[in-house]
């Protein structure tokens, strides 16, 4: 992320102090990001993406990746994301790690949050369930 910030800053001819003001962080914070010493906290991601004019993260392909991407774009902690869909933070964390979304009401909320079809989410969960519970018959 720091490389992206540095390239954009240099392209715009800005000093680290000016970028820090735009991103509402300390000048040393920008320096540390650019040097690769630290990574921006998730709360800073929306401002960084706006500054860059693009999303530097890889395109999300799996449901857990979509959940993380949404959380990043909103600048949410796991607790914030969990509150948005009215679940425990541990539940959200489990979903980001690839565990099943078991309850229909949770699938409805996640589908709304991600702006995806509930049917598609149901099919994915059914497919996962079937893979996890396959029996080898002799």
Q: What is the pTM of this model?
A: 0.83
First to last CA, the chain: 52
Asked if 34 and 4 touch (Cβ cutoff 8 Å), the reply is no
In angstroms, the Cα distances linking 33 to 36, 44, 67, 106, 115 are: 5, 12, 24, 36, 32
Residue 96 structure tokens: 């980001």
Decide if pLDDT at 136 tops 90: no
Q: What average pLDDT is seen over the chain? A: 93
Residues 67-90: pLDDT tens digits?
A: 999 999 999 999 999 999 999 999
Domains of the chain: 2-52 (1.10.260.40), 63-132 (1.10.260.40)
Asked if 107 and 128 touch (Cβ cutoff 8 Å), the reply is no
**Residue 135 binned pLDDT confidence (cut-offs 50, 70, 90):** low
**Locate tokens 């040393």: which residue?**
28
- At residue 133, the pLDDT reads 79
- At residue 138, the pLDDT reads 56
Residue 100 structure tokens: 């099943």
């Amino acid at each position: 992320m720091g490389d992206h910030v540095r390239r954009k800053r240099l392209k715009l001819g800005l000093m680290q102090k000016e970028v820090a003001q735009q991103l509402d962080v300390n000048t040393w914070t920008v320096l540390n990001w650019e040097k690769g010493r630290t990574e921006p906290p998730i709360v800073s991601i929306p401002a960084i993406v706006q500054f860059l004019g693009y999303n530097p993260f890889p395109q999300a392909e799996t449901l857990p990746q979509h959940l993380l991407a949404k959380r990043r774009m909103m600048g949410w902690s796991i607790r914030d994301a969990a509150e948005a869909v009215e679940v425990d933070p541990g539940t959200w964390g489990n979903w980001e790690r690839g565990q099943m979304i078991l309850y229909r009401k949770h699938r409805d909320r996640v589908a709304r949050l991600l702006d995806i079809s509930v049917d598609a989410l149901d099919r994915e969960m059914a497919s996962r369930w079937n893979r996890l519970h396959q029996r080898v018959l002799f």
